[in-house]
Chain A
Amino acid sequence: KNQVEQSPQSLIILEGKNCTLQCNYTVSPFSNLRWYKQDTGRGPVSLTIMTFSENTKSNGRYTATLDADTKQSSLHITASQLSDSASYICVVSARGGGNKLTFGTGTQLKVEL
């Protein structure tokens, strides 16, 4: 069964600090991995999309890494801001069959002063 697991479940950091969120998956056959940011009560917004051949991708202060061999990904947030407070969701797409997406349950990040 395809699964995506994220850790930690929740995280509190001080403004200006860095943090790293983890994602492990067992989706096969692998197509791509996405990270989304979801503010409370709103729809998820895409941060990065990585295919099998990409091992890092950046979007401003967000940098995602992918190790397709170990089936792990991380999202690194640099110099956090209060507006980074949100849920971060790892999503893995399987090849074929409508490119079905498997969602992780998310890491709830809170950035405090």
Chain B
Amino acid sequence: EAQVTQNPRYLITVTGKKLTVTCSQNMNHEYMSWYRQDPGLGLRQIYYSMNVEVTDKGDVPEGYKVSRKEKRNFPLILESPSPNQTSLYFCASRSHGPGDEQYFGPGTRLTVT
């Protein structure tokens, strides 16, 4: 089954404690991205990757890092989380064609206290 998986699904942490949210897809997609979703705001792109070892900033990259060492994985790293990073995070993947379907993961709800 084609899918994007994220772990953990829920996370409560404290300010400054480094964390990583993993994302994996089994569709051999080149393009992967991370979004955050906050009440009243649309999904906002944090980072994206067009292929292995190719990453770029989205609209709200501050406070986040990513890496793309393998095609299937695209982890999101918060080196020093702060309360304003409390949000619902989604990973997504798709092929390179502009009309290609984008598949979203189930989401990770992060709370930083």
Which residues of A approach B to under 8 Å, CB–CB? 4, 31-32, 34, 41-46, 49, 51, 89, 93, 95, 98-106
Contact = CB atoms under 8 A, between A and B. Distances in A.
B44 A49 contact: no
B42 A104 contact: yes
Main secondary structure on A side of the interface with B = strand
B90 A43 contact: yes
Given A89-B43, A105-B41, A105-B42, A95 B98 contact: yes
Contacts of A31: 98-99
5 contacts: A99-B98, A101-B102, A102-B42, A103-B42, A105-B40
Interface residues of B, number: 23
A12 B101 CA distance: 29
A46 B2 CA distance: 14
Interface string B19-49: 0000000000001000000001111110010
Contacts of A51: 99
Contacts of A106: 42
B29 to A, nearest CB: 13
A41 B99 contact: no
Contact of B44 (A45, A95, A103): A103
A17 to B, nearest CB: 27
A43 B45 contact: no
Contacts of A41: 88, 107, 109
Given A43-B90, A44-B43, 5 more contacts: A45-B104, A89-B43, A95-B98, A99-B98, A105-B42
Given A98-B56, A101-B45, A49 B106 contact: no
